[in-house]
Structures are given as C-alpha cells and as structure tokens.
Amino acid sequence: MTSIAPAETVLELRDVTFRRDGTQILDGIDLTVRAGEHWALLGPNGAGKSTVLGFCGALTFPTSGTVDVLGRRLGRVELQELRRHIGHVNPRHPVRSPLTVTEVVLTGITGTLELPMRWEPTGEEVRRAHDLIHAVGLDERREARWPTLSQGERGRSLIARALIAEPRLLLLDEPTTGLDVAAREQLLETIDGLSHSAPELASVLVTHHLEELPETTTHALLIAHGRIVARGSIDDAVTTETVTRAFEHRIRVEKADGRWSARAVRERAGAARS
C-alpha cells in the first residue's frame, strides 16, 4: 500500500510565548499549517488572536519559542522579502488616495499602500489584476474608486490584492467586519473559491463568530487567555464543549450544510430553581 506524503509545512509555531510590558499575552502556542489547509483562529476578544496572526505574517517576534514561516525562521531572515510571499487581507486597509480597484490590486505587487512614483505595471501585471478582479466578481467595478466602494466590495478587492503576488500563505483578519448579510455571504463565497483556484494556498482566518467561517475551513485553533483550548480538524476542534470553554459561557454549536452557528444556552426558569 502506497503512503501519501504529507503536504509541505507552510507555517510552524513551536512553544511560542509572548510578553508585553511584563504581561503574558501568549503561553505555549503550537501550530502547524500545511499547504492547502485553511485554518480558523477563534477565541474571545483579548484572547491573543491578533498576536498569533502577527507571528504568521512575520510582523511580531516571540519572547520565546520558534516561528518558521515558509521554511524560514523569524530572527534569521530578511523580513521584507519574506512578507512578499504572504498575502494579508485586513478590512481596515488604510487607502487614503482615490485609487481605482485595479490600482489597489496592483499595489499588492509593490507591497505598498499607494502606487509608487515612476512605477508602471507591465501589461501582463495589469491583465493578471483584471483576471483576479473578475475572479472576485468585480468586473463592472474595476475602475471604480476606493471611496465609492461598499465595504463588501473593498473586502473582495483586498482578496484580489493579496493574491496578485501569488502568495503561499494568506492571512484574513476578521475579513467580514462591518458587512451586511448579503455582502458577508458574497465574501465567504469568494474565499471558498480559493480552494479550487489556488489549491496549494494555505490560509489562516481570524474571527470570533462561527457564522463567519467559510465552508472550506479545514482546521481550527481555539485560544483563550493566551492558551490553547483546542486544535485540530475543524469538526474535532469546534464543538459545544470547546467553544463553551473558550468563551466561558454555555454555547451550543451546530453545523448544517457546511456552515457553523453558535447560540447561548439559556437556563429554563424551572431548571434554575430545582
């Protein structure tokens, strides 16, 4: 019987701790993400999710432990070069100029907020930007300017921006923040499509709402108070018991048609008195 070789490791955190001003933020975090895996990073506000994402994006150094991103250890590598291979989708992306959607996507090549002076994209780069804009469903808006875009259109534009540099790791920092239900569903559909258009791409998505998990999520890491509550395949890691422990509140977790939901468990008056 032929064994299947494991996919390439894209991201590895080993016994990572992080302290700031004498306060312990993270304690003993282990995480391994392989090519083609799509991880959810879940936990309440203040759990340390943003700090973990900072390690994934080669933006933060651990106090102790090791972080390897794309096979390179933080502290032994030139960070600017490493970051070019990491796509980052942040709904608070601070575009200040009235760039068009096409121009915003092209800034993913230069890794800048604005188009650099005297920089001109090649015809092939523009074609690739237009292909990605088509892939995220914004063909009719590719010349629309950033201030005129809805929050959902901005989110999909930022996914195209992150993908234009052909990253091996995609980080999504609460990408559905501020979206109405329709815009959220459109964005999640776009994220789900990446498993087909970029099958080797690994991703880490941060949220504290189970309803915001794409159907293609394969794994989850739950943390609370800077420590791991659960880690592993999505079905094993995200359960009523683990989510209740992480959020310190009785929560019922359910899954239907590939999507997750969570509701607080209310005590019945009779049960409370008994």
Q: What is the mean pLDDT of the chain?
A: 89
Q: Which residue has the tokens 């195209």?
A: 160
pLDDT score at 83: 85
Closest-CA residue to 220 (of 233, 201, 206, 239): 233
Structure tokens belonging to residue 43: 């936990």
Whether pLDDT at 273 is above 60: no
| Bridge partners, residue 29, by sequence | 16
pLDDT: which is higher, 7 or 8:
8
Quote the distance between the C-alpha of residue 214 and its chain's center.
11
For 220-253, the pLDDT digits (tens) are 999 999 999 999 999 999 999 999 999 999 999 9
Structure tokens belonging to residue 70: 């794309």
For 99-156, the pLDDT digits (tens) are 999 999 999 988 888 888 888 889 999 999 999 999 888 999 999 999 999 988 999 9
Does pTM top 0.75 for this prediction? yes
| Domains by residue range for the chain, with CATH | 9-85+167-273 (3.40.50.300), 96-166 (no CATH)
pLDDT band, very low/low/confident/very high, at 6 (cuts 50, 70, 90): low
Q: Environment class of residue 136 by beta-carbon count within 10 Å: exposed (0-12), middle (13-18) or buried (19+)? A: buried
What are the b/e assignments for 53-90, b being 16+ CB within 10 Å? bbbbbbbbebeebebbbbebebeeeeeeebbebbbbbb
| Strand 251-256 versus strand 259-264 pairing type | antiparallel
